[in-house]
Amino acid sequence: MKPKVNLKEKFSLFSAHWTPKIVGELNGQYVKLAKIKGEMVWHSHANEDEMFLIIKGSMTLYFRDGKVDLNEGEMFVVPKGVEHLPVAEQECHVMLFEPKSTAHTGEVESDLTVKELDWI
């Protein structure tokens, strides 16, 4: 079995924004931690639902027809196929749950796209 994961400790190990790190895996899904700040890119994941859980700070998920503001202790599931744009005015710490197959920025490639994620 893998050792337990302390979220604060893991977040202290990296500082780059928009570069999720893998901290766990189960049932074909990865648990990832990300520090986000600023604006990502509009994208969707054709086959994967994606869950955001806010560990620290706040962020907004924009959709083509609305938005949802997420604060610490709140979670949201973006269903597969739904275009979304994550934005954080201040640095925000997020836990992500998504299938291993999920591409970072979906079908979209941008300067932010990370192709190989690291475990920490």
24 binds its own copies (CB under 8 A): yes
CA atoms within 13 A on the CB side of 9: 5
Least distance (Å) between residue 48 CB and its own copies = 6
7 binds its own copies (CB under 8 A): yes
Least distance (Å) between residue 57 CB and its own copies = 15
| CA 52 – CA 67 distance, rounded (Å) | 14
> What are the Cα distances from residue 104, in Å, to 5, 49, 53, 67, 72?
22, 13, 17, 20, 23
18 binds its own copies (CB under 8 A): no
| CA 73 – CA 15 distance, rounded (Å) | 21
> Given the complex with its own copies, which of 29 and 105 has the nearer CB atom?
29
What are the residues binding its own copies (CB under 8 A)? 1-8, 23-29, 31, 48-51, 55, 63, 68, 70, 73-79, 82, 97-99
